[in-house]
Amino acid sequence: MSYQFDHRQLADEMEIFFFDDQIGAGLPVWLPNGVAIRDALESFIKHQERRQGYQRVISPHIGKGSLFEASGHLKSFGDNMFPPMKWPDEQVDYYLRPMNCPHHHKVFSSSQRSYRDLPLRIAEYGQVYRYENSGSLRGLIRARCLCQNDAHIYVDPSEARNEIGRVLDLHEFCYSVLGLKGYRYRLSKHDPNRPDDFDGPHDEWLKAEDILRQSLIEKNLPFFEADGEAAFYGPKIDVQMKVGPAEEESVASVQLDFNSAKKFDLKYIASSGELERPWVIHRAPLGSHERFVSLLLEFYDGQLPGWLSPVQLYVIPIGEEGLRFAQKLEQELIKHGVRVVVENNAGSLSKRVLFAHRLRPFAKIVIGQKEAQNGPLVLQFRDRKVSCNLGNLVEQIKPMISVPA
């Protein structure tokens, strides 16, 4: 897939996010239009996750150094973590978390688990912080704070392949609904020549990698393999997509972790009555809000599907009578969940319509004296015009902007 558009320029025109030197490089501030996209994505994926038995949690953005020592992040990911924070009355370091998994492991261990509880699917749109090199920062594609569509699934190792299949189905469903094309799957493996970079015995790595490989084959998903691209705690399937003019990026992943249960002493009561260790599947079908929104903006040149469009209806009133009618219309549409903007700029109608284009609204409507006096309304979508009246305006637009079920 070839991209001609830069999400940073699109986001500036569409008022999605901004950076500020006083806040810091790589730390985006999301504006209302950007939050509308995020909220729509969250509503969509949370509904899918509820249907598949995920339980949502909320965990702190920070943790003690000992937490990240246990997980291995300080050893293997420390160069990408922000420096420690110190409290004068505590002889301990705290860190902004680079990933959500250590906190979720603590959720698992917060009560006794049985084989009947597995698979245990724990989900969170979790905020994480990574100290990316300043030279690598690139809008939302490479940022220093990001919010991940994260989940950790605790499974009996014998059920890992079945659960990986369910996760891959979720990936494919999401990308189909979003209309995405041009992505490919990468099986990211360990490098046996760099044993210090990958935790656990070689034979366990081969076993886990084969589970991922067979899952991809079973789902008939084309993929390629890459040595040395695994996470330090396990192999993964990465969704690779070209975002902008640079190299392709990993926009989502499915990771199979056979190490963390031992590190955190995670156990469940097996059907035999013995204590066993689960394996952990880390998954994020929509990656992070930051990278995924940048991808969607560039893929669609800002002309997002109706349910994702920050401005679903842009109303251009003419004259005072048109403005009063437009404001009443705005209140009615808001009740029905439509994201509507009533424009009130000066200038010719043609200039105002041109100005509206920068926000890439899903639909536009001009309200003059005739329309305000019960005349027909012309609802202009991106590809066609529809004549309607006030009574059926909502039913004309609502089906095209509703979050997919």
DSSP state of 239: E
All residues at 6 or more sequence positions from 49 whose CB lies less than 8 Å from its CB, including other chains? 56, 121, 123, 151
Indicate whether 136 belongs to any domain. Answer: yes
Outline where DSSP puts E strands in 33-84: 55-56, 62-64
Q: What's the CA gap between 98 and 90, in Å, rounded? A: 22
Q: What does the H/E/C string look like for 119-188?
A: CEEEEEEEEEECCCCHHHCECCCECCEEEEEEEEEEECHHHHHHHHHHHHHHHHHHHHHHCCCCCEEEEE
More confident residue, 397 or 389: 397
The answer on 351 and 275 residing in a single domain is no
**How many Å from the N-terminal Cα to the C-terminal Cα in the chain?**
27
Mean pLDDT in residue range 9-36: 96
pLDDT digits (tens, 9 = 90+) for 188-207: 999 988 988 888 889 999 99
Indicate whether 207 belongs to any domain. Answer: yes
* Residue 244: predicted pLDDT: 61
Tokens matching residue 98:
């680079």
Indicate whether 62 belongs to any domain. Answer: yes
Indicate whether 338 belongs to any domain. Answer: yes
Q: What's the CA gap between 79 and 75, in Å, rounded? A: 9
The answer on 279 and 395 residing in a single domain is no
The answer on 327 and 290 residing in a single domain is no
pLDDT digits (tens, 9 = 90+) for 220-231: 999 999 999 898
Indicate whether 367 belongs to any domain. Answer: yes
Question: Which of 245, 266, 300 finishes a domain?
Answer: 300
Instruction: Provide the 3-class DSSP secondary structure of residue 366.
Output: strand
The answer on 216 and 76 residing in a single domain is yes
Tokens matching residue 388:
């309607």
More confident residue, 334 or 242: 334
The answer on 164 and 66 residing in a single domain is yes
Number of continuous H segments (helices) and E segments (strands) in the chain: 13, 21
The answer on 224 and 98 residing in a single domain is yes
The answer on 258 and 318 residing in a single domain is no
pLDDT digits (tens, 9 = 90+) for 89-141: 888 999 999 999 999 999 999 999 999 999 999 999 999 999 999 888 999 99
The answer on 383 and 257 residing in a single domain is no
The answer on 275 and 333 residing in a single domain is no
Domain with residue 334: its CATH number is 3.40.50.800
pLDDT higher than threshold 90 for residue 252: yes
pLDDT higher than threshold 60 for residue 3: no
* pTM (two decimals): 0.93
Q: What's the CA gap between 87 and 390, in Å, rounded? A: 61
Tokens matching residue 194:
């760099």
Confidence tier at 246 by pLDDT (50, 70, 90): low
The answer on 396 and 334 residing in a single domain is yes
DSSP state of 29: E
Indicate whether 174 belongs to any domain. Answer: yes
Domain span including residue 353: 313-401
Mean pLDDT: which of 156-165, 242-251, 321-330, 350-359 is highest? 156-165
Q: What's the CA gap between 224 and 339, in Å, rounded? A: 42
Q: What's the CA gap between 257 and 370, in Å, rounded? A: 65
Number of structural domains found in the chain: 2
The answer on 172 and 78 residing in a single domain is yes
pLDDT digits (tens, 9 = 90+) for 40-52: 999 999 999 999 9
Domain with residue 284: its CATH number is 3.30.930.10
Indicate whether 2 belongs to any domain. Answer: no
* Residue 221: predicted pLDDT: 96
Question: Which of 279, 300, 321 finishes a domain?
Answer: 300
Question: Which of 300, 321, 356 finishes a domain?
Answer: 300
Indicate whether 306 belongs to any domain. Answer: no
All residues at 6 or more sequence positions from 142 whose CB lies less than 8 Å from its CB, including other chains? 26, 132, 136
The answer on 65 and 165 residing in a single domain is yes
